[in-house]
Structure 1
Amino acid sequence: MAQEALSWNSGRERWQRLVNEVEVPPARSQTTAPAPVACVARLVWEVDGPELVETEAIGWTPAAVLVRVYDRRWRLGGAWVPVSDVRRRNTG
């Protein structure tokens, strides 16, 4: 049996804003690594409140970090959050 194709906004009733999301920094100030960096990010949801999420940092500036966000409440694959809301995760 074939699976029904969902539209890009099929889960919109679950979407929430990230209260601690910051504006995307200018491209010239962004740095990326050859590989993602394991981290723990504090995400503050509009309805559900704060939570700590094990994720990866994929870009940063002195003031903000781009972290991957794989959550049904978020329609994008990542979000920029303040550097104070992210810490490296020890993977070894």
Structure 2
Amino acid sequence: MAWVILIVSGILEAVWATALGRSEGFTRLAPTVTFAVALVASMGGLAYAMRTLPLGTSYAVWVGIGAALTVGYAMVTGAEGASLLKILLILGIVGCVVGLKLAH
């Protein structure tokens, strides 16, 4: 169960990171509220997962999921340019996250 919570928390990290960027310095209400709710839920889930999973593995998986999804979403929506190199590097992050899960 801790792995499922950790994965959901990583997804929520991408949500709050994206909402933070769209909040325009906390001047827009909806993205600011989305940021706050997703941040609390993401951190809470990370803390829960760390009760049974190793700290380093938990944090690396959480950050990896969040980073890969945040960049991927930005590329899909056109907020950030896409390139073959970026896609390969994101796949490398995903591969490392899967590797950490398999090594646990």
- Shorter-chain TM-score bucket reads under 0.3
Higher-helix-fraction structure: 2
Q: What is the TM-score normalised by the length of structure 1?
A: 0.21
Higher-strand-fraction structure: 1
